Amino acid sequence: MKKTFAAIQITILLAMLSLPSKLFAQSTNTVYLDPKQPVEARVKDLLSRMTLDEKIGQMTQVDKDAVINNKSDIVKYFMGSILSGGDSDIGDNKTVTWANLYDSLQSYALQTRLKIPIIYGIDAVHGNNNIYGATIFPHNIGMGCTRDTSLVKEEGRVTSEELAATGINWTFAPCIAVVRNERWGRTYEGFGESTDLVSEFGAAEIEGFQGDTLSGHMSILACAKHYLGDGGTFNGIDQGNTVDDEATIRKLFLPPYISAIKAGVGSVMASYSSINGQKMHGSKYWLTDVLKDELGFKGFIVSDWSAIDQLGSNFEDDVDKSINAGIDMVMLPMKYKEFYKAMNVLVSTGKIPMSRIDDAVSRILTIKFELGLFEKHFADRSLIDSVGSFSHRQVARQCVRESLVLLKRKDGVLPIPKENTRILVAGDHADNVGYQCGGWTITWQGKGGNLTPGTTILQGMFAAAPNDKIVYSENGDFSNTKADYSVVVIGEKPYAEGRGDASDLNLSKSDIDLIKKMKSYGNPVVVILISGRPMILEPILHFSDAIIAAWLPGTEGEGISDVLFGDYAPKGRLSHSWLKSMSQLPINVGDSVYHPLFPYGYGITTFNNSTKGSAPVILSAIVKKDGKHIELTFNKPMSDISLNGEDFKLNKNGLPIKEMIEPYIKKDDNTTIILSVSKGFADNDTVSVSYNSGKVKAADGGLLEHFEGFKIYNWVSN
């Protein structure tokens, strides 16, 4: 899929001069070339002039690598659309190079008999993420946590401007999957697990991309994907099977498309996945009967990458099934000659009626006219300087800080002071733009390193607090461990569809060990988690004093520093229920049994400490390695006056145990009470603690309230 783009030999000036002069002259006798005519009249006129081969060409979408060395085939096969796949880098990958590519390919399309321009598609899913130097926004999972549709709309507008600078006029976004199982490797591409949230945010981003009108100066075509039910597949398997009755499908997964249609979305991408065993690319019921006829979608449906090939073993049959089901444009992306041949055979034999062809082509042409492609043929180079501009990066920075979800905070831990504070920073995600951005960034699966200009989290910290002493060691090895704070930045490595599917959402052992190591230095530990979905946090809860879910924030790491150092209060609220363990998946708000670690909508949105004298809150508990000591940690310092072992009751393997308990305050951490027991616990024991109202108090006098069956994480074997 990934190839090196050869230097373009033809200049844009020569390309334009090579075109017939009639291209730039308006004909009063040619309705479709007259922008003053209604779109419907222009479509009707152009369609009446087209041969079958020209119509087939409009239904053809190929990857640029298929024609980069055979540009004349654009003319020969009347190609209507070109795309760049996830690994389609070109030369230096800069904006002007992409603009040159677009203009060169477009110049060939304009040499066809009817001079119908191509529409060019790309996966600009969190900014124009294929281009070096573009502004990269948080992935959608983080945007959903902002709960700010106006901000998502602005993100779409900025993306459209940076895309329009290249000439490319179509983004395969937004993904409006309602994600119901976080095992799915595309979880981060969706806004969240709530149908309502996805419906609102998908519509907002569409409005940002497409502007008030598709013909706008910087408007690009949006593409709602992946229709239908892609976020609900069994076990979260990518391209898998969604198993539900129709009423549930309609309730959970259809509303975002209704909202997208109301927002004026011009294209929809069919899903690789199936509903109850029926591949979506072959489902006339869902594509035509529901989407087009029942919901009134007037745009066109595009297939996914080589997706029609999954309908069977015979390509001609696959074309037959998909086109008759309602696919209007086929993302081949290489087999355009085979498609041309198959379509001619299928039409000549009557298997695909001309009415279906004319419907598909009319839909495609309508969008091209609405985009103004017949009038604005080439890239608008006046926009090039806007790509990655300061103002755009400031929008992304705002998106980052508003997407952060503060999951845990002990009193007094955050924000970090900006003056005379010593901070130890560790973790391989602290100084890595590639890890911050995740998948679909420059490359399809993403990668680590400084793959595009941006500000890392560590760089953001230095910029925010120049008067602090900040020391970084990726592995947490410090010559002097005495500090005021430890910040540990951990998380997932980049991935995208398919390869991102996961059967285990536990943090890596190396990340867990690093956090324990940093906690052993005796400093308050702030954990920043970089991930495309909720991860299992129980092994680190006890060793962290604050936890921030930063998702995949993109290039603007200073957005994290904005919150970390208190310039802005945390704002984000969870767009997904946060699981305790893998056994809970799938877990979603509204389930009949619902006991997440953190519920949907949760987020600490203040730096205020708990009220003086309020009841302390237990945050975590562990059985230590020796099996004879249990640590209970609270949100505030505890008092060592009148601790009574009889107030605490332990439960082992489901049964209460009677054992002498000696409680005391941990020497170097007064937010922690240690329960010392004589017999101890084995590595496979499940342990919980309850508290009967007694005399245990916080240092500020707040009386600990009764609680039952708080789970204790067993570290005996770790």
Q: Is residue 40 annotated as part of the catalytic site, yes or no? A: no
- At residue 84, the 3 state secondary structure works out as strand
Direct distance between the N- and C-terminal alpha carbons of the chain, in angstroms, rounded to an integer: 43
Contact 374, 35 (CB under 8 A): yes
DSSP secondary structure of 430-458:
TT-HHHHH-SSBSBSS--SS--SS-B-HH
Contact 430, 455 (CB under 8 A): no
- Taking CA 220 as the corner, what is the angle to CA 138 and CA 137, rounded to the nearest 5 degrees? 10
Structure tokens at 620: 């975590």
Cα separation of 639 and 699, whole Å? 4
From 54, 162, 207, 304, the catalytic residue: 304
Instruction: Specify the length of the chain in residues.
Output: 718
| Longest CA–CA separation in the chain, Å | 99
- At residue 212, the 3 state secondary structure works out as coil
Q: Is residue 304 annotated as part of the catalytic site, yes or no? A: yes
- At residue 182, the 3 state secondary structure works out as coil
DSSP designation for 62 = E
DSSP designation for 466 = T
From 497, 511, 562, 647, the catalytic residue: 497
ω into residue 228 within 30 of 0, thus cis? yes
Spell out the residues 6+ positions from residue 599 whose beta carbon is closer than 8 angstroms to its own: 574, 577, 578, 589
Contact 154, 208 (CB under 8 A): yes
- Which H, E and C letters describe 93-144, residue by residue? CCHHHHHHHHHHHHHHHCCCCCCCCCEEEECCCCCCCCCCCCCCCCCHHHHH
State the alpha helices, DSSP H only, in 352-475: 354-371, 390-403, 433-437, 457-464
Contact 243, 234 (CB under 8 A): yes
Give the active site residues.
304, 497
